[in-house]
Structure 1
């Protein structure tokens, strides 16, 4: 029972994360933040001086601020992009985002830096967790049910296991979110 509940709860959480980020609003899917976010405007980058992943994130923040939207509170990137960003060094060999021995929460420009494999590599999302921008409404917490009463499960010695969580994502100000790619060229 503990293996089923442990594994099942992990995969329910993973599906929730995928839906919140990239749900396509079809059938029972949520309308995720990536499809609702405004597209990153690469013309704001300064091509003359070159640009880095840090420049792209800073420019996405600028885009939200210029649109007079709610200040962003987080950046979501793929785990591999996080490590590429985190291991970036200056010309003297120092890590740009700080000492690797620092155990504080990762952040960039004061925003929480969230890394996950639920967003494709090379894609980023900058947005606000403020309730005025978006809200997650839980209709039902996670429920795990086990049954032998489905069809002929009893006679075939089978057990059905169902785990579910019900929620909705209310995106009140989609322009408070910007999504794009790190490979975008100005």
Structure 2
């Protein structure tokens, strides 16, 4: 187990986290909405974060190599040290924890919390749209009745209708921003 290399990576990861927090605090200007931090200060902290992230990535890709001898030849092939490490939790985990927290990370899938938050966000946004967004297209939520509609009733919205409404919302937002600036 390459303990010194892992410790070095842990320290670098902590430095990156600290740099992110420092950059966030700088951008927030200490919680004062009227204060704007100096651009060189933001740029220097961002450059530092970028440098640390690049060094961390390089350390992961090019660690101290372990050499292995190929079965077909006598030449040595460098192997990434981290590719040979197996992960094991320090404490026992229940099956629910393993399925809900660890397995999605290993498979690069979203956790249930992320999916739930995403669904809630889509639902909240759809409530404010005339077409009801993708929920209206799928038929899970009915669009509000059209004012002054005669006879034919409501037609089910199509994806083009939702895209058109999103474009209108974006255009209205841009006009408000232009007017405010």
Q: Shorter-chain TM-score category?
A: under 0.3
Higher RCO by CA contacts (8 Å cutoff, separation 6 or greater): 1
TM-score, with length taken from structure 1: 0.20
Flag the structure with higher helix content.
Answer: 2
Who wins on radius of gyration, i.e. which is larger?
A: 2
Flag the structure with higher strand content.
Answer: 1
